[in-house]
Amino acid sequence: MVKKENPEFLSLSKVYVVHSEVSSIIRENVRYSNKWWSATTKFTSFFSYTERFHAATAQNLLKKMNLNGKFLDIGFGSGQLIKKLSTAKLITYGVDISLRNIASFRKNFRKSRPVYTLPIDPFNSELGFKEGCFSGVVCSHVLEHVPDDQVLIKEIHRVLCPGGIAVIMVPINEEQMVVPTHIRKYTVDSIKEQLKPYFEILQSGENDVLSHYVRVFGIRKNLISTVIKRSMIFVSCFIPSKLAVFIDRCIIKSLKIIKETSQTYILARKI
Give domain limits for the chain. 2-208+260-270
Question: Which stretches of the chain score pLDDT less than 50?
Answer: 1-5, 7, 9, 11-17, 212, 214-221
Residues paired with 263 in a beta bridge: 171
Q: What is the pLDDT of residue 177?
A: 73
Sequence-distant (≥ 6) Cβ neighbours of residue 57 within 8 angstroms = 167, 169, 207, 265
**CA-based nearest residue to 183, from 264, 135, 122:** 122
Long-range contact pairs involving 252-258 (C-beta distance under 8 Å, separation at least 24):
252/212, 257/212, 257/216
Q: What is the pLDDT of residue 114?
A: 78
Q: pTM of this prediction?
A: 0.78
Q: What is the pLDDT of residue 22?
A: 82
Q: What is the pLDDT of residue 43?
A: 55
| CA gyration radius, the chain | 18
Q: What is the pLDDT of residue 179?
A: 79
Q: How buried is 268 (Cβ within 10 angstroms: 0-12 exposed, 13-18 middle, 19+ buried)?
A: buried
Q: What is the pLDDT of residue 192?
A: 96
Classified by CATH at the fold level, domain 2-208+260-270 comes out as Rossmann fold (3.40.50)
CA distances (Å), 5 to each of 8, 73, 91, 98, in order?
A: 9, 16, 13, 17
